[in-house]
Structure formats: structure tokens, C-alpha cells
A = this chain, B = another copy of it.
Amino acid sequence: MLVDKTTEVLAALDGDRDAAVARLVEWLRIPSVSAQPVHATDCVRAAEWVRDQLAGVGFTAAVRPTDRHPVVVAHHPGPGKDAPHLLFYGHYDVQPADPLELWHSPPFDPVIVDGPHGKRLVARGAVDDKGQTMMWVEAMRAWHQVAGGPPCAITAIIEGEEEIGSPNLAGFLADNAKDLKADVAVISDTGMWDVDTPALSTRLRGMCYVQLDITAANRDLHSGMYGGSALNPINLITRILGDLHDENGRIRLPGFYDDVPEVSAEQRASWQSLGFSEHDFLGAIGLSVPIGEKDRSALERLWARPTADINGIWGGYTGPGSKTVIPSQAHAKVSFRLVPGQDHTTILDRFKAFVQARMPADAKAEFQVFSSSAGIEVPTDSAAMRAAMAALQDEYGRPAALIGCGGSIPVVSNLKSILGLDTVLMGFGLEDDQVHSPNEKFDLRCFHQGARSHARLLAKVAGS
């Protein structure tokens, strides 16, 4: 048993609070938008920046190339070879910042503003995932300062393609499996129940994200000359995609629900006890009536039922005024959120078949898949989950809520299938963080208590 240095480590984090924020701000200034080729060198800069942070707190750290954006890999032996071994995962890439005109301050020029829970940091990536990644990096720093290193062996991987579906991560994990051995994984990329109530996420939805490109005539046409005879691919794409849901909010791909399991009565009761108000959830974004399957509860729809959303659509003339064109092409980006049990490649095939069944003779459909991952269910009875629950209980003085998460973190299924690791999903985001939206923010209180919770987690896992 190690001497418990948790109290000193927490004091070190408290004393270093402002400097920790300043470091995060530095990282946020690098516009590491993985989706946009123009930001490729920014992605490298963001990787090098966090590599240097880890190297500065006793890690052996390297930026390792992939076919697109590099992965940062870092190791710390901890107290010795019998120590428990955690693998921390984060990502340094961020979503595109557009629409830029809706930001109140530039997305890559972080500002600190007041909010109902104190100061908050506003920038693209503030919470997703630079802020959440820096919580555990700061925990490592505090352990380094107080005890010369963390009380567990640590492997860290910080990738740069999470926001584009981690296309190179599975290969990277497989190629480096030996170097990435650990007992369990920890990820901070999810949310709390509320600012006072910590949470561990036990479910994640999977994802199938595909771009549909439809081509009809070999050039743009005048709608007066050709209207009534020539196929309009925008008319067609609206007809196809408008058919995705039935009047009860169910998705109409044949067989889509075949492998969707019913939630257990126990699970349902546990979620019920959380007292979630969909009215408030929607009210905060100016809505009042939920969409989705009419016969399902709100948390079921958000955490345990699949969805189909058109994330982007474009075609024809989109400038000011009018242009009487029948365009040659129309495009849409469509994503399905999937639940554990659904196979993402099967869903892709079903979507393709759904589209092809609705294509007239003269139109051609092409598909580009941008991400594809399975839904995840995390076992709650592991030693690591018990350690996380204890750490959060100590930090917040109340038990962590065991919740679902509607989003997708593809790496979780890869960590399981390739490295054999279960994942503890301990995140500190709040519902109003505007993740993927203009004015993304992270409450500094969450950032700080998140770092403290991570510091505590290391001690709990180490057995103190």
C-alpha cells in the first residue's frame, strides 16, 4: 500500500488552478479542425503541444503518424511493474467552427465569461475534448509534482481524428497493441448529470455517417425549358430522405429495428429515478415537443433507441434571390445513431438499399462513408468502475448517476475489440456546453473538479 498523497495532490491542483486554465487556453488557440484539410498542420501543432505537456510531467511521449492526423502516445511506469495500469484516451481535434457568424467571440480566441456556475471558458474544443483531456493531464501533473509520478502505470493516447470518425485509429491500435497494454481504459468525453451531480456513462450510441450524392442530368438545366420532363435530383433527394421516418417517428429502413434490444426493466427504473425533464431539456433550445418514436420515454429515445438525422443538405442555387435551375446534382449527409446490438455495416447496407430502391433509371447514387461504429454498453461491476464511483462520491459528496449517452465514441468499441479493454466513461461536460455548436464552453468549476476527480481516481485504482 502506498502512502496516500491524495490530499497533497488535490492541494497542488487547487494551487495551480489559474495556470491550468492558461495552459488549456494555449491549446485551444490551435484550430485543429480534423475535417478540414486546411487545418492539417494545426492538427500536428496541437499534437505536439500535448506531447510536450506529457513529456513535461515525466512521460515518455511521442507524436506518431497515421495516414492523416497523428496520434500522441505517452507512457509513465508509475510506481513499478505490479501497479495497476490505466490507459487514458482523449482527442485533440475539434469540430468545424461554422457557422462563424453565430459565435459571440472568435472560436479559436478563447475568452472567459461569467455564467450561472461561475467562470466559463468559451472556445471551440473547450469541453470537447481538449478541456476534458487536460483534466487528466493536470491530474498527472499534480501527482508528478507531489509524488514524482502517478500511483498507477499510465498509457495515454490522444488522437486527432475523433470528430471525423477515427478512420485510422483501429489500425493504429492493432499495429501497436503490444505497446498499448493496460488493465482498463478511462475516457473523459461525456457529461455530468448536472453541475452538482457527477455521472458515469454506461451506454454510448454507435454511428453510421454517410454522404449521399445524387447525379441526374449531365449539366444544370433551365427549369422553364426542362421542367416537366427532366429529373430534378433535389426533388428526388427530398422524396427519398423525406421517407426516412414514418408518422410515428420510426425509421423506415426495412429491418432497421431487428437488432435493437429492449431496455431492461431495471435499467428503465434506474433512468426513471433520475427525474429527467424533457420539457426543460428542450425548453433550453427553444423547443417544446419531442420528436422520435412516440411510444418511448425521453431517456430511452436519447440513450437506447437509434435515430436518423440529415446533418447537411445542399444542391442547386443557394445564393440570394432566385435562379430557375434544375441542377445536375444534389447532396446530403445522413447519420444514424445506433444502439448496442445493431451492426453498423448492416445498417449502411440497409440505407444503401433504401436509397437504391427509390432511384429512378436516370439517377445515380454514390455513397461516401465518413464514420461507422458500434454502440457500447459498459459493465458497471468492475473494479475500475467501483474506483470511479468512489472517487466521484468523495469529490462531490453524492453518488454518481449511471447514465446513457446519445453520442458515439467509436474508440470505446475499438478498445474492447482490439485491446480487450473495458472503458470507464467519466466526463464532466454539462448539457448547455454547446458541444459542436457556436459558443462551445466549459465551466471552469467542472474543469477543476474534473481534474480533482481524476487525481482521486488514480489513488482509488492504486488501492489507497
Contact = CB atoms under 8 A, between A and B. Distances in A.
A240 B242 contact: yes
A417 interface: no
Contact of A313 (B95, B245, B293, B315): B315
Copy tally for this chain in the complex stands at: 2
Contact of A165 (B95, B322, B360, B438): B322
A313 B310 contact: no
Contacts of A360: 289, 291
A323 B337 CA distance: 13
A332 B431 CA distance: 31
Contacts of A216: 286-287
A407 to B, nearest CB: 3
Interface string A289-324: 111110000100110010111111111111111111
A169 to B, nearest CB: 15
Range of interface residues on chain A? 35 or more
Contacts of A319: 35-36, 96, 98
A156 interface: no
Given A205-B224, A235-B245, A242-B240, A102 B219 contact: yes
A405 interface: yes
Contacts of A312: 234, 315-318, 323, 325, 327
Interface of A: 34-37, 95-96, 98-99, 102, 163-165, 191, 205, 207, 209, 211, 216-232, 234-235, 237-245, 278, 281-282, 285-293, 298, 301-302, 305, 307-327, 330-333, 335, 337, 360-362, 370-371, 405-408, 431, 434-438
